């Protein structure tokens, strides 16, 4: 794998254990109202929005995807992106994911303009977005983690097997992930971890392995980090703080192309189609952010601010502005 490796566009994820929530979103779109899907990172907020948008498109609804701009040259860029979506006469569904990264005034303006244009609005967030969730006729969908049946379906899809929720293997995955789909997918994407979980699933009592399996993904990330040189390790930290929405070129300018290439070779990062480095799995990014030392965080902030200014960006995320 080299620094030119691109993340291939994945096939749409099969949504498991969310039939009730998806039915609610279908009603919201049909009735031309706003809705907020809220949940912790990894529970499948983005997957839910994608599936709801796919279903709306099959019914002939035009879908406009609004991308937050936590890195921007102007705070007005998000609204500038919205206006063309609302210009047509046909019905348009506006989808705004990661709305917690938007400025509160931007969120309020998005919902105001969508309501004025009678456009349904589906919003995803990992935190409170009261400017939208408290708007008139808005529906709030709280997304929790999967129950055993949902874990069985998700693991079964990955392994090509039909699994029962009572099986030892499903028990091992459920206990280790707490039903978080993002953690599950990160574990299932690692052949070594798959083998480890298979052993636990075949044990007479899988609960004996639960404490170790609960830290399996963290241990895997630590092993990859330990194999990196300091410059490549810094590149991972910069990518974690910058987030997946950083414009192409900012991270590379902050750390240099060679360290970034070595970080990609570790398997923790990939390049998105537009050239932006991003974590292969958001669950790994969360682990890195939780354990990033304060001194490293300070160096990361300085580098990212310098790179942002060089790119003419005046709007930057709070993680970059706020001391760690």
Domain limits, the chain: 19-142, 148-211, 223-321
In the predicted model, what is the mean pLDDT of the chain?
89
CB-based contacts of 311, cutoff 8 Å, min separation 6:
247, 249, 250, 253
Instruction: Identify the three-state secondary structure at position 298.
Output: helix
Tell if the pTM clears 0.75, that is, is over it. Answer: yes
- Residue entry with tokens 């991270």: 251
- Residue entry with tokens 């900012």: 250
Under the banding of pLDDT at 50, 70 and 90, the label for residue 9 is very low
What does the pLDDT average to over 273-294? Answer: 91
Q: What is the pLDDT at residue 16?
A: 75
Number of residues that this document lists for the chain: 324
Q: Which of 3-7, 8-12, 247-251, 252-256: highest mean pLDDT?
A: 252-256
Q: Residue 65 belongs to what H/E stretch?
A: strand 62-66
Token pair, residue 280, equals 């292969």
Under the banding of pLDDT at 50, 70 and 90, the label for residue 5 is very low
Distance CA 84, CA 92 (A): 11
Token pair, residue 206, equals 């899988």
Percent of residues, the chain, with pLDDT higher than 90: 66
Distance CA 223, CA 220 (A): 5
Checking if the pLDDT of 218 tops 60, the result is yes
Domain topology for 19-142: Rossmann fold (3.40.50)
């Amino acid at each position: 794998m080299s620094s030119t490796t691109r993340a291939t566009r994945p096939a749409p994820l099969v949504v498991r254990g969310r039939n009730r929530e998806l039915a609610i979103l279908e009603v919201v779109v049909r009735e031309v109202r706003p809705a907020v899907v809220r949940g912790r990172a990894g529970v499948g907020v983005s997957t839910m929005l994608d599936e709801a948008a796919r279903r709306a498109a099959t019914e002939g609804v035009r879908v406009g995807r609004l991308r937050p701009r936590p890195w921007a040259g102007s705070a007005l860029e998000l609204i500038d992106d919205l206006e063309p979506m609302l210009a047509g006469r046909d019905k348009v569904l506006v989808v705004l994911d990661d709305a917690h990264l938007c400025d509160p005034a931007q969120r309020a303006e998005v919902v105001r303009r969508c309501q004025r244009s009678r456009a349904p609005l589906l919003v995803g967030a990992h935190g409170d977005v009261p400017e939208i969730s408290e708007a008139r006729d808005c529906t709030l969908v709280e997304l929790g983690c999967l129950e055993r049946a949902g874990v069985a379906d998700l693991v079964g899809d990955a392994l090509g097997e039909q699994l029962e929720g009572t099986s030892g293997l499903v028990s091992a995955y459920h206990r280790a992930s707490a039903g978080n789909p993002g953690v599950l997918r990160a574990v299932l994407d690692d052949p070594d971890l798959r083998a480890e979980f298979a052993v636990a699933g075949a044990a007479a009592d899988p609960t004996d392995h639960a404490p170790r399996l609960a830290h399996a993904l963290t241990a895997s990330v630590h092993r990859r980090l330990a194999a990196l040189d300091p410059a490549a390790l810094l590149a991972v930290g910069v990518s974690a703080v910058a987030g997946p929405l950083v414009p192409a070129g900012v991270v590379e300018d902050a750390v240099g192309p060679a360290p970034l290439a070595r970080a990609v070779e570790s398997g923790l990062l990939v390049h998105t189609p537009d050239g932006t480095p991003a974590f292969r799995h958001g669950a790994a990014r969360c682990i890195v952010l939780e354990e990033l030392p304060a001194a490293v965080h300070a160096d990361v902030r300085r580098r990212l601010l310098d790179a942002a200014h060089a790119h003419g960006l005046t709007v930057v995320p709070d993680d970059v502005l706020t001391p760690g």
